[in-house]
């Protein structure tokens, strides 16, 4: 279906079959031929030019001889006008086809996903159902899945191939972990303090002070833990907060400006709702961190399980130990 500003060229009938379109466009061309013939015949009648009217039915050779013999006068102009308009009317169906299927020019360029955000559907589907068997993952058309569930129709793109990772290198810790939030376990990426870790401030609330502050405990060289009795008001604030956000340190954390949370847009982050509130949820997400010319790819897994007691309002230590063992594993002594 074609829509233009010109009412003479506009089409408002949604016809999908090409054969039917061809018949309609060809009929329009025949009608235009008839209109040209009748219009110029009317002009010849009004000017009493019977010779020019007879030349309308002759072939192009006879029209050429007529124009040469008569010279440039009103009869020649009328005959040449008829010839030109008739030939132009013969391309009217071609014009309609070009308007209906204008085609496009293919230009290949590499873009990031952020550059295509304007082409995303208003409510993208984060949960995508695949009909292919899990034993035949190679047959899954990822481009079709993205195009149908994330981006608007008409956006043609090809996902890049598998990029072989560089040779992994082990970066020694720049600073050891301690019993404080500022130096928590993390993955060190260079010798300047560039590192990635999980949110180590999830146990901090706005109502904590020096008397009820929950301090970190260093278990060994690689682990930290919280072991505190937290009032219910603070506990509910912890539950309502979003958990599982990764933190990026660009260098040694001498000030808060040297670190930041990975905060994607709401429509690109279903964990915005799953990470907050009660209940049990699991998150797996892939994210990239780039510093300079080096890019690092991470797969993060976050598991959240919350248990709330109302009556009695205080959980026994045995219940907490059993809860952790059921959801995570054995608790160190």
The DSSP string of 211-272 is TT---EEE-SSS-EEE-----HHHHHHHHHS----EEEESS--SSGGGEEE----GGG-THH
The total number of structural domains in the chain stands at 3
Q: What is the pTM of this model?
A: 0.52
For residue 181, being part of any structural domain is answered with: no
Res 4: pLDDT: 45
Tell whether 80 and 204 lie within a shared domain: no
Tell whether 64 and 116 lie within a shared domain: no
Tell whether 250 and 144 lie within a shared domain: no
Tokens of 203: 């146990």
Tell whether 194 and 306 lie within a shared domain: yes
For residue 5, being part of any structural domain is answered with: no
pLDDT at 136 over 70: no
Tell whether 225 and 306 lie within a shared domain: yes
Q: What SS3 class is residue 154?
A: coil
Q: What is the pLDDT of residues 300-331, one digit of tens each?
A: 888 888 877 777 777 788 888 888 888 776 55
For residue 76, being part of any structural domain is answered with: yes
Q: What is the pLDDT of residues 40-56, one digit of tens each?
A: 888 888 788 777 777 77
Pick from 240, 242, 245: nearest CA to 261: 245
In the block, which residue shows the tokens 């034993």? 135
Give the structural domain span for 43: 18-100
- Cα atoms in the Cβ-side hemisphere of radius 13 Å centred on 278: 5
For residue 119, being part of any structural domain is answered with: yes
Res 196: pLDDT: 92
Tell whether 154 and 202 lie within a shared domain: no
Q: What is the pLDDT of residues 58-87, one digit of tens each?
A: 777 777 878 787 778 877 888 888 888 888
Phi/psi region, residue 66 (left: phi>0; alpha: psi -120 to 50; beta: rest), is alpha
- Sheet containing 195-198, strands listed edge to edge, beginning at the edge strand earlier in sequence: 187-188, 195-198, 246-249, 259-261
For residue 280, being part of any structural domain is answered with: yes
């Amino acid at each position: 279906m074609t829509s233009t500003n010109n009412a003479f060229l506009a089409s408002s009938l949604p016809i999908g079959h090409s054969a039917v379109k061809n018949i309609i466009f060809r009929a329009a061309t025949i009608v235009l031929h008839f209109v040209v013939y009748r219009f110029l015949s009317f002009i010849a009648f009004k000017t009493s030019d019977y010779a020019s009217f007879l030349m309308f039915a002759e072939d192009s050779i006879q029209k050429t001889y007529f124009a040469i013999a008569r010279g440039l006068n009103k009869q020649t102009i009328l005959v040449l006008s008829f010839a030109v308009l008739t030939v132009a009317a013969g391309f009217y169906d071609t014009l309609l086809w070009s308007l209906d299927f204008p085609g496009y020019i293919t230009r290949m360029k590499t873009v990031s996903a952020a550059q295509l955000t304007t082409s995303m559907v208003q409510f993208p589907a984060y949960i995508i159902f695949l009909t292919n068997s899990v034993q035949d993952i190679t047959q899954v058309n990822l481009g079709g899945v993205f195009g149908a569930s994330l981006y608007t129709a008409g956006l043609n793109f090809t996902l890049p191939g598998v990029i072989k990772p560089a040779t992994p290198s082990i970066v020694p810790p720049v600073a050891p972990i301690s019993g404080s939030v500022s130096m928590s376990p993390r993955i060190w990426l260079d010798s300047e303090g560039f590192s990635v870790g999980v949110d180590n401030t999830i146990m901090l609330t706005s109502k904590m002070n020096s008397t009820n502050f929950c301090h970190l405990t260093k278990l060994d060289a690689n682990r930290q833990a919280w072991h505190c009795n937290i009032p219910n008001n603070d506990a509910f604030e912890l539950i309502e907060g979003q958990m599982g956000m990764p933190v990026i340190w660009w260098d040694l954390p001498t000030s808060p400006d040297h670190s930041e949370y990975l905060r994607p847009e709401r429509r690109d982050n279903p964990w915005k709702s799953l990470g907050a509130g009660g209940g049990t949820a699991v998150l797996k997400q892939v994210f990239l961190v780039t510093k300079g010319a080096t890019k690092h790819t991470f797969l993060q897994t976050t598991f959240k399980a919350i248990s709330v007691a109302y009556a009695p309002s205080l959980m026994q230590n045995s219940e907490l130990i059993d809860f952790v063992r059921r959801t995570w594993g054995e608790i160190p002594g």
